[in-house]
Amino acid sequence: MQTVQEHKRGWALRDVIFLAIIAIFFGVIYQVWGASYYALAAIPALKPFANDMTIGVWLMAGPLAGVLLRKVGATLIGEVLAAVVEMLLFSSWGAATLLYGFVQGISSELGFTLTGYKNWDKVGLTLSVITSTLITFAWDLFNSGYLAYKPGLLIALFIIRLISVGFFAGILVYLIKVLVEKSGLLKR
């Protein structure tokens, strides 16, 4: 297990370049993924669930940057930079994309913060999934009008969000991390 103490060297040029690659890659994915959201939202029975079913993908850049770079702030910066790329690709959400990127990034970063930046593996990712789910759901209660929903629907939305975030920003990010480590791309 690697700790912050072992990685106090700061940011190397290689780290910055890798972070930029993650942000560009996911910024493009985020922009394309918007079509999935709109396809689900176009189906009346699925419209209330569209955001929660798709949000996990929009939370992948930050945790991936965190687990691969193992730097304080990498999760937040990775998510915000991916949001910048998405916005520059003419995201339908415009400049609000940056605010969402910040909220999603800080909520993911918080999970690693709770470990004292000492666990960049399953425990850190699990906490990141939990904090991301809780904080983004709270955000949507106020920002997306979820407060108007009945308790039963809110519970269903929360469970769907937890599954989406858990699969995409947890399991899938972990599997990508394992593959990148096996490739030797980020030899430490």
| Angle between helix 96-113 and 74-88 (nearest 10) | 160
User: What was the pLDDT predicted at 57?
Assistant: 97
Tell me the CA distances in angstroms from 102 to 46, 56, 123, 151, one per residue in order: 27, 15, 23, 28
Residue spans of the domains in the chain: they are 5-183
Residue 49 has pLDDT above 90, yes or no: yes
Residue 7 has pLDDT above 90, yes or no: no
Render pLDDT for 64-95 as a digit per residue (tens, 0 to 9): 999 999 999 999 999 999 999 999 998 888 89
What is the share, in percent, of the chain residues with pLDDT greater than 90?
A: 89
User: What was the pLDDT predicted at 8?
Assistant: 53
pTM of the model: 0.91
